[in-house]
């Protein structure tokens, strides 16, 4: 098969490599599309190696057609159209993954649209609804609201009646986030978000904060949480260290949760996928939720797609299409 391989000079090359080997509880997917995630950028830079046993090929999600099923697989058949959450391997003509990590492509969705769903909706659902345990009507603060995860999180909050406030990098991005369902937001270049967030919550704070920034936001995040609130940190774009006011944690009974999806156990990922299929996937059929795609590239142009993500100008996902 062909796949995107990383050269010694970090250049990306669409070239031939060995086909993946399928296990009894796995399926082989002929990949039609995949999507770019910031984890891919980190892996290219050598900062985020794949978990043990995972493919070292880039790509944490895909859509395509099942071409083979393992002996222990009963829920999928050859020819089924699926999208899947991957630990790696999506930037390729074929990928192997656990059968329990696949989802049906929503009715009427193209392969490109379906490829934009698994990673971001799994991340948003896991961290807001499972880790933070948000309940109906409780407010959520979403940093990087125009990102792939951010646009998924906004839609989920809107669908499940959780008012949300976002931080973004520009006025245009803020407008697009509000169009997706965010109630209000703050442009990060205008200074600290804490006053605007406090005004939005009427001084009561947020029950959950989804944060891919990390270090530089820690203090303001903790000040913005309501009593018994949860800060879920999913990235380190703003640094990996900061001063922590432990007294604030104690007095307000706050939780600070570090969360990654890629390194979770297969069983844990299967639980997330099962919840998505039951609670989230029906909302695509009713058009309550939708994929947000900024740009589409051919897989051979993956380097250009990576540059678009690095520019921080995109809204939603950048998709890579695999030739038949």
Residue 65 confidence (pLDDT): 98
User: Which residues is 83 bridged to in the sheet?
Assistant: 63, 103
**CB burial of residue 58 (10 Å; 0-12, 13-18, 19+):** buried
Q: Is the pLDDT of residue 242 over 90?
A: no
Nearest CA among 213, 247, 263, 252 for reference residue 230: 252
Indicate the CATH number of 121-258 among 1.10.510.10, 3.40.710.10, 3.40.50.720, 2.40.50.140: 3.40.50.720
**What is the pLDDT, as a whole number, of residue 116?**
98
pLDDT, tens digit, 9 for 90 and up, residues 62-96: 999 999 999 999 999 999 999 999 999 999 999 99
Residue 236: its pLDDT value, please? 86
Residues of the chain with CATH 3.90.180.10: 2-117+262-321
Q: Indicate the DSSP class of residue 62.
A: E
Spatial distance between the Cα atoms of 192 and 120, rounded to a whole number of angstroms: 26
**Mean pLDDT, the chain, whole residue set:** 96
Cα gap 138→136, rounded to integer Å: 6
Q: Which run of H or of E encompasses 169?
A: none
**Which CATH number is associated with domain 2-117+262-321?**
3.90.180.10
Per residue in 55-67, pLDDT tens?
A: 999 999 999 999 9
Say which residue the tokens 């969360």 belong to: 259
Which pTM was predicted? 0.96
What is the predicted pLDDT for the residue at 237?
83
End-to-end CA distance of the chain: 12
Q: How far is residue 322's CA from residue 291's CA, in Å, rounded to a whole number?
A: 18
d(CA 104, CA 210): 27
State the Cα torsion 120-121-122-125 to the nearest 10°: 120
pLDDT tens, residue by residue, 283-300 = 999 999 999 999 999 999
Contacts for 19 with CB less than 8 Å, ≥ 6 apart: 1, 94
Domain with CATH 3.40.50.720 in the chain: 121-258
Classify residue 150 by burial, with Cβ atoms within 10 Å: 0-12, 13-18, 19+.
Answer: buried
């Amino acid at each position: 098969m062909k796949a995107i391989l990383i050269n010694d000079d970090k250049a990306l090359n669409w070239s031939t490599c060995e086909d993946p080997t399928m296990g009894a509880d796995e399926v082989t997917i002929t990949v039609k599309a995949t999507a770019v995630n910031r984890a891919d950028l980190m892996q290219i830079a050598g900062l985020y190696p794949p978990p043990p046993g995972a493919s070292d090929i880039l790509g944490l999600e895909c859509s395509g057609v099942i071409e083979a099923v393992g002996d222990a697989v009963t829920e999928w058949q050859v020819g089924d159209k699926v999208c899947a959450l991957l630990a790696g391997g999506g930037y390729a003509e074929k990928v192997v993954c656990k059968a329990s990590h696949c989802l049906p492509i929503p009715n009427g969705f193209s392969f490109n649209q379906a490829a934009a769903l698994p990673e971001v909706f799994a991340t948003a659902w896991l961290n807001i609804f499972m880790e933070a345990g948000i309940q109906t009507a409780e407010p959520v603060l979403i940093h990087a609201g125009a990102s792939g995860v951010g646009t998924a999180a906004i839609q989920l909050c809107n669908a499940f009646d959780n008012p949300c406030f976002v931080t973004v990098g520009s006025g245009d991005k803020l407008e697009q986030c509000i169009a997706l369902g965010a109630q209000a937001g703050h442009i990060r270049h205008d200074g600290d978000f804490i006053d605007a967030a406090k005004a939005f919550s009427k001084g009561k704070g947020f029950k959950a904060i989804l944060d891919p920034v990390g270090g530089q936001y820690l203090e303001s995040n903790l000040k913005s949480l309501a009593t018994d609130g949860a800060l879920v940190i999913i990235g380190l774009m703003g640094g990996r260290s900061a001063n922590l006011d432990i007294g604030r944690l104690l007095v307000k009974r706050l939780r600070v949760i570090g969360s990654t999806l890629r390194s979770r156990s297969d069983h844990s990922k299967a639980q997330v996928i099962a919840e998505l299929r039951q609670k989230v996937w029906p909302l695509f059929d009713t058009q309550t939720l939708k994929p947000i795609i900024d740009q589409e590239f051919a897989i051979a142009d993956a380097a250009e797609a990576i540059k678009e993500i690095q520019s921080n100008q995109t809204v939603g996902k950048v998709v890579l299409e695999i030739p038949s």
